[in-house]
Amino acid sequence: MDFDKGDKALHSSHRIRMVWVLAGFSALMSSTAANAAAGAAALPPADSGSIYTVRVENDVTGTTDEYYTSGLQLGWTGPTGAVPGFLARLGHAALGVGNQRVSIDLSQQMYTPSDTQLNPPDPNDRPYAATLLLTGQLIQDNETSRTRLGMQVGVLGPDAGGEIVQNGFHTIIGDAQNQGWDDQLDNRPVLNVFADRTWRLPLLALTSLPALNAAPIGIDILPDVTGFVGTEQIYAQAGGIMRIGQGLEDDYGAGRILPGIGGGDAYLPDSGFAWYLFGGMDGQAVAYNTLLEGNSFANGPSVTKKPFVGEFEVGLAMIWHGVRITFSQTWQTHEFTSQQGGMFDFGSVAVSARF
């Protein structure tokens, strides 16, 4: 991918601004941790269960594969307190008082242009790309917030298996093969780190409305901020979700495969039935996205990213006898300057069970 001096200066300027954004985010996290430690924040109930999650994201509402076309995630979240000693000490030193868990997941994500029958692909459309990533997170909760500190390692390119999985699935269902995978982004290692904080702010308890169990129907807001730095992407994100339902204290919102706003896969068991409807939005300030900008050290497909991307999300979550099921639909503004059509949308379905 070739850049002239002006392009290089522009990208350098974006990265410098993002460093300052993430430095401010780090200062906010440290300040909040100090306040939590000084105030000895109350803790939610401990949880002795392990949680296993399967999540599928797909642009199934469209007539063809396009843009972020598919994501699959398999995850495990450990019980409260089952954290290696050095990691627990590091978390408490950085974040203050809180219940801690470890979460590990494996995810594959695939990206294609809007016309997958062109070979070679349209040079002005999104490049073919796939990632295969192992993510480890430290999750720390107090009564009013959840913090997630994580690292991702893996591969971007043919070794991530995007062509094999996508065209293999198309063969099984009798669909047309996507023709442009030979021009996907090159292989390269991926190393990302991120920090995310979600706050839970109760608003109302609507005792006058009919409920599905003895608990009142509540309304809350989940503000969220994220900083993400790595060889795949560099961005800062802020947003929030509003929920209405019962058992809102059981989790911090439905999860998503990164990037995207979400409360993670950890949730508390519910003796009966908990549910909520939710809707919200987030915005990303994007300094770098190799999935759009292309190969780092060689010529290849690329498009010009947009510096700001917005998302809108609605969905439903249910917890019944320890099993959590979530559904969501996300609408996303354009990610690159030559992107065609209206807002891109994709769905997410996840099932989590406790053992």
User: CA of 158: how far to CAs of 131, 172, 181, 185, in Å?
Assistant: 9, 21, 9, 8
Q: Domain map of the chain by residue range?
A: 5-354
Cis? peptide before 84, omega within 30° of 0: no
Least confident among 162-176, 208-222, 232-246, 279-293: 208-222
- The two tokens of residue 126 are 């999104």
Q: Cα-Cα-Cα-Cα dihedral of 105, 106, 111, 116, to 10°?
A: -140
83/78 Cα distance (integer angstroms)? 8
CATH topology of domain 5-354: Lipocalin (2.40.128)
User: CA of 106: how far to CAs of 68, 79, 165, 319, 326, in Å?
Assistant: 17, 19, 15, 23, 19
Whether pLDDT at 24 is above 90 = no
Q: Give the type of residue at 307.
A: P
- The two tokens of residue 339 are 């992107």
**What predicted TM-score, i.e. pTM, was given to this entire model?**
0.86
- Contact call for residues 251 and 278 (beta carbons, < 8 A): no
Please report which confidence band the pLDDT of residue 209 belongs to, taking 50, 70 and 90 as the band edges.
low
- Contact call for residues 97 and 44 (beta carbons, < 8 A): no
**Residue 258: count of CB within 10 angstroms of its CB:** 25
State the number of CA atoms in the 13 A half-sphere of 226 facing the CB. 27
Q: Which residue has the tokens 């494996």?
A: 106
Which pLDDT does position 36 carry in this prediction?
Answer: 46
pLDDT, one tens digit per residue, over 191-206 is 999 999 999 999 988 7
- The two tokens of residue 248 are 């809102």
Q: By C-alpha distance, which of 22, 10, 7, 68 is closest to 235?
A: 22
pLDDT, one tens digit per residue, over 234-273 is 999 999 999 999 999 999 999 999 988 888 999 998 767 8
End-to-end CA distance of the chain: 48
Q: Give the type of residue at 254.
A: A
